[in-house]
Amino acid sequence: MSLNSTSYPEEEIYYGLALALIPGIGHIYAKTLLSYNGSFRQIFHSKGSQLLKTPGMGKELIRRILNFTDFDKVEEELKYIQDHQISPLFYNHPDFPQRLLYFNDSPFLIFRKGNATNSTRTLGIVGTRSPSQAGIRWVNDLISDLKDSGIAIISGFAYGIDITAHRASIREGLETVGVLAGGLENIYPALHRKYIDDICRHGSIITESFSHVLPDKQRFPMRNRIIAALSDGLIVVESGAKGGSIITAEFAFSYNKNLMAVPGKPCDLMSKGCNILIKTQKASMVEDSSDVFREMDWHLGNQSDKYAIQTEMFNSLSDKEQSLITFLIEKGEVSVDEIIKNLDIRNSELASMILSLTLDGLIVQLPGSRLAIG
């Protein structure tokens, strides 16, 4: 996204970044302020009495907004993201990841370097930073089995299981998304900077942190919630009883995601976290790709097979319904406006088709008036 994008005015980006810099304005307050004031610009040009009408806003936070002067930091961030082809995406932007919109604690702003994922299915893979050869082999074998599935792999760009998942995804031609704890100028671990370009060609690197923010300790749990939210299912591969992978798993469990874990020997401390997740029935046990596909109710095969559209059911649809299904298979998640623009279907006609195809389980409706294959 360029900063002069007609879909999101540069002025809004400017004031949105300014709002993100104000201490105490968290994700929920930022979203509420935008909802009640219409635009980020209007927030900064409103009177205090108007801002007080925003639920939850106290006088101290309003004072910080009205007295904000750190616009030089906004300019600095704008220059950096322009120079490094980074897209700032606010939660009301069309390119903001739809999966993040389901959760109250999701960020109102992320920075993305690379391409938006087109996958309608995502799988998170996390685990220890010091994996065994068996753990590395398990991840590589799984992702090899996922080749041509169209699934995007989500992970945290860390040592061990995370970077193994990213590199295997690149090798097998799958999209992959790396979620950072710090800013894009402070890649952690620094040794993994060499993988950035490859990952961005096959997906993206995202973070909620401004570019020069260091990945300090409290930012890793915040990063983990994004990994969980972006993942339709999450697999924990080798993890101790505590640590980042277990935090990510707890987020996934609380978000009602499909949580899976690879079992280990009872005496293996490196698998204790996985075994506990399975024992407490928070996670399903998975030993290979067939287990993963069964747990996720996914189907292996080519583009048509993976969406499980039976030939006889497809043939029973009207010509326009078939055109819509084919369009969704080719494009992935698509907005209603895009469908009307590209297919010869009236708005009222499309509404009836959406209802019928949704009831048949052939399509699903997503936030933001978007559709995908069911």
Domains defined for the chain, CATH in brackets: 10-97 (1.10.150.20), 122-296 (3.40.50.450), 307-373 (1.10.10)
pLDDT tops 90 at residue 373:
no
Beta strands in the chain (DSSP E): 86-90, 109-114, 122-127, 152-155, 176-179, 203-207, 233-237, 258-261, 284-285, 334-335, 363-366, 370-373
The DSSP secondary-structure symbol of 329 reads H
Over the stretch 125-164, which tens digit does the pLDDT of each residue have? 999 999 999 999 999 999 999 998 889 999 999 999 999 9
Contacts of 47 by beta carbon, 8 Å cutoff, 6+ apart: none
Q: What is the mean pLDDT of residues 165-181?
A: 96
Q: Determine the 3-state secondary structure of 156 from DSSP.
A: coil
Tokens of 260: 């899976």
CA distances to 121, 311, 365 from 361, rounded to whole Å, are: 16, 15, 10
Q: According to the model, what pLDDT value does residue 284 have? A: 97
Contacts of 78 by beta carbon, 8 Å cutoff, 6+ apart: 3, 13, 14, 17
pLDDT averaged over every residue in the chain? 90
pLDDT tops 80 at residue 301:
no
Over the stretch 239-295, which tens digit does the pLDDT of each residue have? 999 999 999 999 999 999 999 999 999 989 999 999 999 999 999 999 999 999 999
Is the Cβ–Cβ distance between 126 and 155 less than 8 Å? Answer: yes
Tokens of 199: 């990952």
Q: What is the mean pLDDT of residues 20-28?
A: 93
Over the stretch 48-99, which tens digit does the pLDDT of each residue have? 999 999 988 899 999 999 999 999 999 999 999 999 999 999 998 888 998 9
Tokens of 56: 């939850």
Taking the C-alpha atoms of residue 171 and residue 159, their distance in angstroms, rounded to an integer, is 18
* 252 conformational bin, left if phi > 0, alpha if psi -120 to 50, beta if neither: alpha
Q: According to the model, what pLDDT value does residue 7 have? A: 64
pLDDT band at 1 (very low <50, low <70, confident <90, very high): very low
Is the Cβ–Cβ distance between 251 and 224 less than 8 Å? Answer: yes
Indicate if the alpha-carbon torsion angle 351, 352, 355, 361 is positive or negative.
negative
Q: According to the model, what pLDDT value does residue 118 have? A: 62
Is the Cβ–Cβ distance between 262 and 237 less than 8 Å? Answer: yes
Stretch (H or E) spanning 14: helix 10-20
Strands 176-179 and 152-155: parallel
Taking the C-alpha atoms of residue 311 and residue 330, their distance in angstroms, rounded to an integer, is 17
Of the candidates 164, 163, 130, which has an alpha carbon nearest to the alpha carbon of residue 268? 130
- Can you give the pTM of this predicted structure? 0.78
Is the Cβ–Cβ distance between 114 and 203 less than 8 Å? Answer: yes
Indicate if the alpha-carbon torsion angle 90, 94, 100, 101 is positive or negative.
positive
pLDDT tops 70 at residue 302:
no
Kindly report whether the peptide bond that precedes residue 107 is cis, defined as omega within 30 degrees of 0: no
Burial of 295 from C-beta contacts in 10 A (0-12 / 13-18 / 19+): middle
Q: According to the model, what pLDDT value does residue 94 have? A: 85
